[in-house]
Amino acid sequence: MKEIMLGITGSIAAYKAADIANQLTKSKVLVHTIMTVSGAKFITPLTLQTLTKNKVYTDMFEEIFYPDVRHISLAQKADCCVIAPATANIIGKLASGIADDMLSTVVMAVRNKPVIICPAMNTAMYENPITQNNIEKLKSYGYLFVEPKEALLACGDLGKGALADVETIVSYIKKILQIE
């Protein structure tokens, strides 16, 4: 069975991650979800837990006994990591080597596995040269990106920054996992 780590961050597009998790679970992929504190304000861990039939991680210091160190074991056992939606913030943190929550720490502990980042943000945030530099830097290290699309955004702006279609993201992940 293939396993992925699905990171969900604080974007209005977070509700779409439920559909991604649902489709992958139905395709027999075991999904380990990690939500940032902001991500969990947009969609509940219970939704992801129910759809994936698996525990959802939000707190790195949760006092539950595991025989392993979770942030390392999740990074090691997943066949790939996906962050969908990925905020400007998580992209900036990864590009800067910051590991101050469960998601950024797990992604930093990934070695020799694909990390797929699906940005979603306001057009000005996406086109901000800092964000663009961060994306280029991460690409240079081998991180993969599923480009956001141009759309009428939740904030009312028309431009690039909307999360790529769920179908596009799911088929990209399946291609990486070599299923179907």
Ligand X SMILES: Cc1cc2nc3c(=O)[nH]c(=O)nc-3n(C[C@H](O)[C@H](O)[C@H](O)COP(=O)(O)O)c2cc1C
Binding of ligand X at residue 98 (CB under 6 A)? Answer: no
Binding of ligand X at residue 11 (CB under 6 A)? Answer: yes
Interface with ligand X by CB under 6 A: which range of 10-18, 54-62, 63-71, 172-180?
10-18
Binding of ligand X at residue 148 (CB under 6 A)? Answer: no
Output 2 or 104, the one with its CB closest to ligand X. Answer: 104
CA distances from 15 to 22, 72, 138, 149 (A): 12, 27, 25, 17
Q: What is the distance between the alpha carbons of residues 143 and 63, in angstroms, rounded to a whole number?
A: 32
155 is catalytic: yes
Cβ neighbours of residue 15 closer than 8 Å, sequence gap 6 or more: 42, 43
What's the chain's Rg over C-alpha atoms?
Answer: 15
Q: What is the distance between the alpha carbons of residues 56 and 58, in angstroms, rounded to a whole number?
A: 7
Comparing CA positions, the residue from 136, 112, 117, 92 lying closest to residue 7 is 117
Binding of ligand X at residue 33 (CB under 6 A)? Answer: no
Binding of ligand X at residue 90 (CB under 6 A)? Answer: yes
Q: What is the distance between the alpha carbons of residues 44 and 56, in angstroms, rounded to a whole number?
A: 10
According to CB under 6 A, which one of 20, 88, 117, 164 is a site residue for ligand X? 88
According to CB under 6 A, which one of 89, 105, 123, 134 is a site residue for ligand X? 89
Binding of ligand X at residue 108 (CB under 6 A)? Answer: no
CB 47 within 8 A of CB 41: no
Binding of ligand X at residue 121 (CB under 6 A)? Answer: yes
Binding of ligand X at residue 125 (CB under 6 A)? Answer: yes
Binding of ligand X at residue 12 (CB under 6 A)? Answer: yes
Interface with ligand X by CB under 6 A: which range of 17-25, 60-68, 117-125, 132-140?
117-125
HSE, CB side, 13 Å, CA atoms: give it for residue 34: 24
Catalytic residue IDs: 155
Instruction: Write out the residues near ligand X by the rule CB under 6 A.
Output: 9-13, 36, 38-39, 87-90, 120-121, 125
